[in-house]
Chains A and B, each alone.
Chain A
Amino acid sequence: MRGSPGLLGALLAACWVCASPPAVAAKAVRSKTSQGKKKPKKPVCPKPEPCPEPEPCPACAACPECPGPDAGSGDTGQDVVETIDDGSSVGAPETPEVAPAAKPSPAPPAAAPTSAPGDKLEAQGWTRVEGRYGLWREPSSGSDPLAVPYDRVEGHGLLSLRLSYQRGRSFALVASGLLHEAVFWRTQIAPDGSSRVRDRFEGSLREAYLGVFFSSLDVRVGQQRVVWGRSDLFTINDVVNATDLRDPFLAESEALHVPTLLLRADADFDPMQLQFVFAPIFQRSRFDLYGGNWAAVQPSVAGKYRGLVNLMSQLVDTSLENEAAPLFMQTSLPTGADGFAGGLRYNVSGEGIDFALYYHYGFVPTPELTVEPWFSDLLGTLDYSVMTPYDLRGIIDLAQARGAPLKATYVHRHHVGFDLGGTVGSFALKLEGAFDSKAFFYTVDLASYGRPTVQGVASVEYQTGEVGKAVILELWYQRLIDPPDVALIGVATDSLAAGLVARWTFAEHLEVEIRSVVGIKPFGYLARPQLAWKQGGFSVRVGALLVGGSSGTAGDYFSRNQAAYLAVRQAF
């Protein structure tokens, strides 16, 4: 062919441009425009500059000098918002707010990408009001000097608030607190037979820590909660924080552990992570010695001790019982350099498997109890049916002369543990093991025995991907090494128990949940069925706590705690 390009030449050239490899296409553009004697717009690179072609060209995207799909509108790359109305939204209800298709219009400037997010301040919290009615039938009526107080009705009001401030990704400040007002109506078997009302107000600082985060290292200092282990019911490796045992099954889950002053450092050596924790100050677990339904002194405790604490409680105003509880026993709390605890966690993940190793040098959560033999013998001779609180003077004088007859001492122990987790199909499988060089077990005579233990937990969780639907089954085993030749409360040489958490949501608002632990050896049970109606952060929950078991088990020991409850909770 000769001469200037006619229609055929233009057609050939256009095809050549569209179908050619990228480099050739770019050259073809330049040669084409140079023939038109106009200085061509140089194809601009890299993305997201506009495509040189006036019309969208499907193969243009393959050209390295074209920006690809971003060139769709063929304009200068300005941000654009386009609504789509295809009139065929299958199955959808009428949505009159959808605008009819419009020409692309410049969008408001999008948030410019920033190299790091700015400051962020968040406040979260919840409030809860709950009423409980005890279902336990008291065996006797009238005044019984050896009867242990029982709270028939409880009312609880709680307010939790958490504030967190984050500066970019490198710094965070977190603080949280909890206000708890509780009122108890006690069917006290007092000498005058009257019922007693007491209340308890607690304001506590929960978390208060500062976090500094680097690319492979996080450091947090302050009062905080550190969770170890993977199991949900039998948390045998969750040993860093002390526990609050005053209301172990109906309290909010986040209130069950006591945040501790800690230095925590997490180092990432992908795929391994190392965590170091150090607590310079001893933090003891919280439990009621006497007075509450979950107190250590229960009807099964030897009568001579029940009579003593009953008499002592009559010296103290009901509203001060909580403050006076520690005075009932002389405790030896670790102080100074003796009070530290620390530990290491090693974690590695890969191929869908998570594995962790734990070591913690800390304190046995419950104290070693020592009762002087002369004191125990003395109490056994007392007739509490005729004694009054003023008769305790002689006993107190004797104790001062001969030395403290009661001691509760916190003792160090070594904890070593591991856990392993993975998924198979829709199931998450977990295995945990732990060895403690010492744990204390008790008799009804308030004697304690410290022994090493080995524990294991196997867990299967059926997952649905939704927070409100899960079924978890756990099996727990404990071996008491070198057991004493006495009957211990709730423990055998080899103990075995099964636990179940089943939670299911219906119609988006109705949640049914059952939590239960069944002791297989020895036999005991604890179950908490619950029905809840939830709407966003608001929920109403009604349920019951069922506790029981064969004689000598923990279920039998705490069987007075059967109760029905109604709780209203609002998260914000």
Chain B
Amino acid sequence: MNLRLPLVIAFVVPCLGWAAPSPRQVLDRVLEVDPWGMSGAEVSAKVTLKDGSGKATRELAFNGRSRQYAGNLTKSLLRFSAPADLAGVGFLQNQQAEGDDERFLFLPDLKKSKRIAGKLRSQAFMGTDFSYADLDRRDLRQSEVKALADEAVGKFDCYHLDVTPKGSDAEYARIELWVRKDNFMPLRWHMFDAGGNHMKSLTALEVQRVSGKWFLTKSRMVNLKDSRTTELVLEKVSPRNDIPDEEFTVRTLEKS
């Protein structure tokens, strides 16, 4: 009896299905990736805001430290060094599994920190085109995801995902993600509002592997509503898992 064909069907066909990760698995891997060094790294970054004509209107610079805790939750502390009117301003964010993230802003001329309302996820982060929601990625964490047809971004094969945030405070109604197949780096994001309007696009311009971890060292966020652009460049990034928890407290934030 020729058992070859049934054996092929029994073993190979399911294997072909098992070989590709599910959309949820891909998204989970995306969440494990730390594109901006906000989940266990020290970074020095520069942010350039440009108007619709491409002219730079403002430049920010900051140093940041972060750590991951309790799964995919993160704590991060940023300290701005430029421009001069923001020098010394500190920002602390501790993500929470339930409810609003904890955020504090330290103003050096007043020498005190203020709690920032958690409902500000949709607001611009320090005047940039990145919102707090873009940085905390909770819209991805609390979402449903399905796969679209794979698509290349440049020379890189990518999974193409359709993400529907489910959180009550989701900033976007839908997000399309292009995720590089080999290292699960998100190379392109398209954000849509409830009316299906394309609100913003985030494009990876440069990725870098440092000590075995991949980072989005150059990215551009385009606000399609007013044609403004924000470019985020990680000038230095050092992955670290040993930053102690007490570095992410208001006490540390107020040390200027």
Contacts and interface: CB of A to CB of B under 8 A. Distances in A.
Contacts of B212: 47-48, 67, 70, 77
B83 to A, nearest CB: 4
Contact of B246 (A215, A421, A571): A215
**Interface of chain A, main secondary structure:** loop
A107 interface: yes
Contacts of A8: 4, 7-8
Interface string A89-111: 11111110010010000010011
Contacts of A138: none
A399 B99 CA distance: 70
A303 interface: no
B183 interface: yes
Contacts of B255: 172, 211, 213, 218
Interface stretch (B67-75, B141-149, B197-205): B197-205
Interface in A445-474: 461, 463-468
A465 B109 contact: no
B94 to A, nearest CB: 11
A18 interface: yes
A165 interface: no
A534 B85 contact: yes
Contacts of A463: 116-117, 120
A169 B132 contact: no
A225 B242 contact: no
B11 A15 contact: yes
B246 A354 contact: no
Contacts of A94: 54
Contacts of A349: 250
Contacts of A87: 154
Contacts of A67: 212
Contacts of A383: none
Contact of B111 (A79, A225, A571): A225
A11 B12 contact: yes
A270 interface: yes
Contacts of B198: 90
A351 to B, nearest CB: 8
Contacts of B209: 70, 72-73, 77-81, 107
B193 interface: no
B120 A464 contact: yes
A346 to B, nearest CB: 14
Contacts, number: 257
Contact of B99 (A59, A91, A352): A352
| B interface, size bucket | 35 or more
Interface stretch (A285-293, A366-374, A422-430, A482-490): A422-430
B134 to A, nearest CB: 12
Contact of A466 (B32, B99, B114, B127): B127
B203 A89 contact: yes
Contacts of B33: 69
Contact of A273 (B100, B124, B213, B251): B251
Contacts of B218: 83
Contacts of B180: 72
Given A83-B206, A86-B154, A101-B155, 4 more contacts: A16-B11, A107-B209, A534-B85, A537-B84
Interface of A: 1, 8, 11-12, 15-16, 18-19, 47-48, 56, 58-59, 61, 67-73, 77-95, 98, 101, 107, 110-115, 117, 124, 126, 164, 169, 172, 211, 213, 215-216, 218, 225-227, 230, 252-254, 266, 268, 270, 273, 349, 352, 354, 421-428, 461, 463-468, 508, 534, 536-537, 539, 570-572
20 contacts: A12-B8, A15-B18, A68-B32, A84-B153, A84-B187, A84-B207, A91-B224, A92-B220, A107-B208, A107-B209, A110-B211, A110-B238, A124-B87, A270-B246, A270-B249, A423-B115, A423-B117, A425-B117, A465-B126, A571-B85
Interface of B: 3-4, 7-8, 11-12, 14-16, 18-21, 29, 32-33, 42, 49-50, 52-54, 57-59, 83-89, 99-100, 102, 105, 107, 109-112, 114-120, 123-127, 132, 153-156, 180-185, 187-188, 190, 198, 201, 203-214, 217-218, 220, 222, 224, 227, 229, 236-240, 242, 244, 246-247, 249-251, 255-256
